[in-house]
Amino acid sequence: MRNVGFLTIGQAPRHDLSAAIEAALPVTARVRHAGVLDGLDRARITGRFAAVAGRPALITRLTCGDTVTLDETAVGGALQERIDALEDDGVDTVVLLCTGAFPALRTRRALLVEPDALLTTYVGGVLCGRPVGVIVPLPEQVAAAREKWQGVTPPPLFATASPYAEDEAGLRAAGRDLVGRGARALVLDCMGYTDRHRRALRTDGVAVPVLTSSGITAALTGPLLA
């Protein structure tokens, strides 16, 4: 029996991020949720995790519905603490609910599923040679995204749109922009993008394939745990 821990950079649970992956798990899997910001109020979040100008940033949503922008380096250290705690509690598989790159993360024995690696490997293999458009939440994330996706050929095109906006207008505009610039597939590079966002692009007339991070993570993780 698998004991799976879903780990978000925000506050748990984030069923909107994990639903597709949970649906791909064996029916016998035991699931628990944890978050880097669990139990923290806004002041403590700001004090430890506030985004720093000129450094990589991440965006997430709190259980109250508010969004916060976090410093990626600070989040990485806290993720390791949470992974250690999940392993101590008997979790044998840890699934990150974030597509940020955290190369220093380690487990003692558990399987660590990192969506950023799954996403770039899958797209680089399956869509090799096809121009890809990548949508990330924040303009300040584009530089880090270019580095993350540098192994994909041809180099991807980038646009930004928050998955936590009140409507999908910004996402639709980003999708149209990328397709207009020659993208022949779109990748929504944040776990905050769900099938709702993919459908919004489809409704707007985007005819190229649209891949979500959670969808790819679910497709590649499920068979590992069967």
Q: CATH code at 123? A: 3.40.50.2300
**pLDDT score of 225:** 86
pTM score, two decimals? 0.94
If asked whether residues 104 and 148 sit together in one domain, one would say no
Q: Are 108 and 46 in a shared domain? A: yes
On whether both 9 and 54 belong to a single domain, the answer is yes
How high is the pLDDT of residue 224?
85
Domain match, 95 and 181 both: no
Mean pLDDT by 10 residues, the chain (226 residues): 96 95 94 97 96 93 94 96 97 97 95 96 93 96 94 96 95 98 98 96 96 96 86
The reply to whether 110 and 221 lie within a common domain is: yes
CA atoms of 24 and 42, how far apart (whole Å): 34
